[in-house]
Amino acid sequence: DLVNTKKMFQKAMEGKFAVPAYNFNNMEQLQAIVTGCAESDSPVILQVSGSARQYADPTMMPHMVKGAVAMVRKAGSKIPIALHLDHGNSFELAKDCIDSGFSSVMIDGSHLSFEENVRLTKEVVDYAHTMGVTVEGELGVLAGVEDEVSSETSHYTRPEEVQAFVEKTGADSLAISIGTSHGAHKFKLKPGEQPPSLRFDILEEIEQRLPGYPIVLHGASSVSPEHVAMINQYGGNLESAVGIPADQLRRAAKSAVCKINIDSDGRLAMTAVIRKVFSESPAEFDPRKYLGPARDELISLIKDKNKNVLGSAGKM
For ligand G3H, which stretch binds (CB under 6 A), given 44-52, 190-198, 269-277, 293-301? 44-52
Nearer to ligand G3H, 182 or 305 (CB): 182
Other beta carbons within 10 angstroms of residue 95's beta carbon come to 18
**Does 218 appear as a known binding residue?**
yes
Give the start-end residues of each E strand in the chain.
19-23, 44-49, 81-88, 104-107, 134-139, 173-176, 215-217, 257-262
What string marks each residue from 219 to 258 as x (binds Na ion by CB under 5 A) or -? --------------------------------------x-
What is d(CA 18, CA 123) in angstroms, rounded to the nearest whole number?
A: 27
Interface residue with ligand G3H among 4, 5, 31, 49 (CB under 6 A) is 49
Pick the closer one to ligand G3H by CB: 218 or 276: 218
Rounded to whole angstroms, the Cα distance separating 210 from 62 reads: 33
Check residue 224 for interaction with ligand 13P (CB under 6 A).
Answer: no
Q: Is 182 in the site for ligand G3H (CB under 6 A)?
A: yes
Nearer to Na ion, 6 or 168 (CB): 6
**What is the sign, positive or negative, of the torsion defined by CA atoms of 132, 7, 84, 218?**
positive
Q: Directed axis angle between helix 60-74 and helix 27-39, to 10°?
A: 30
Distance CA 81, CA 32 (A): 14
| Part of the chain binding ligand G3H (CB under 6 A), chosen from 49-57, 72-80, 147-155, 240-248 | 49-57
Q: Which is nearer to Zn ion, 218 or 303 (CB)?
A: 218
Pick what 23 binds: Zn ion, Na ion, ligand G3H, none; C-beta below 5 to 8 Å, kind-dependent: ligand G3H
Count of beta carbons in the 10 Å neighbourhood of residue 32: 26
User: Shortest gap between Cβ of 115 and ligand G3H (angstroms)?
Assistant: 24
One of 15, 58, 183, 293 touching ligand 13P (CB under 6 A): 183
CB contact at 8 A, 305 and 244: no
How far is 219 from 181, CA to CA, in rounded Å? Answer: 4
Q: Could you tell me how many residues of this chain bind ligand 13P (CB under 6 A)?
A: 14
Residue 133 touching Na ion (CB under 5 A): no
Based on the shown chain and the rule CB under 6 A, indicate whether residue 263 belongs to the binding site for ligand G3H. yes
189 and 244 Cβ atoms separated by less than 8 Å? no
- Helices then strands, counting H and E runs in the chain, come out as 13, 8
- Annotation-wise, does 87 bind a ligand? yes
Whether 172 is catalytic is: no
87 binds ligand G3H (CB under 6 A): yes
Closest CB to ligand G3H among 23 and 169? 23
DSSP secondary structure code for residue 25 in this structure: -
- Which listed residue (86, 172, 263, 265) is catalytic? 86
Nearer to Zn ion, 218 or 295 (CB): 218
Contacts of 96 (CB under 8 A, 6+ apart): 58
Q: How far is CA 248 from the centre of its chain?
A: 16
Instruction: Residue 177: count other Cβ atoms within 10 Å of its Cβ.
Output: 24
176 binds ligand G3H (CB under 6 A): no
Assign residue 309 a region (left: φ > 0; alpha: ψ between -120 and 50; beta: otherwise).
alpha
* Contact window for Na ion (CB under 5 A) among 11-19, 25-33, 75-83, 200-208: 11-19
Site size toward ligand G3H (CB under 6 A) is 8
Binding positions for Na ion, rule: CB under 5 A: 18, 257
By annotation, the residues acting in catalysis are 86
Binding positions for ligand 13P, rule: CB under 6 A: 23, 86-87, 182-183, 218-221, 261-265
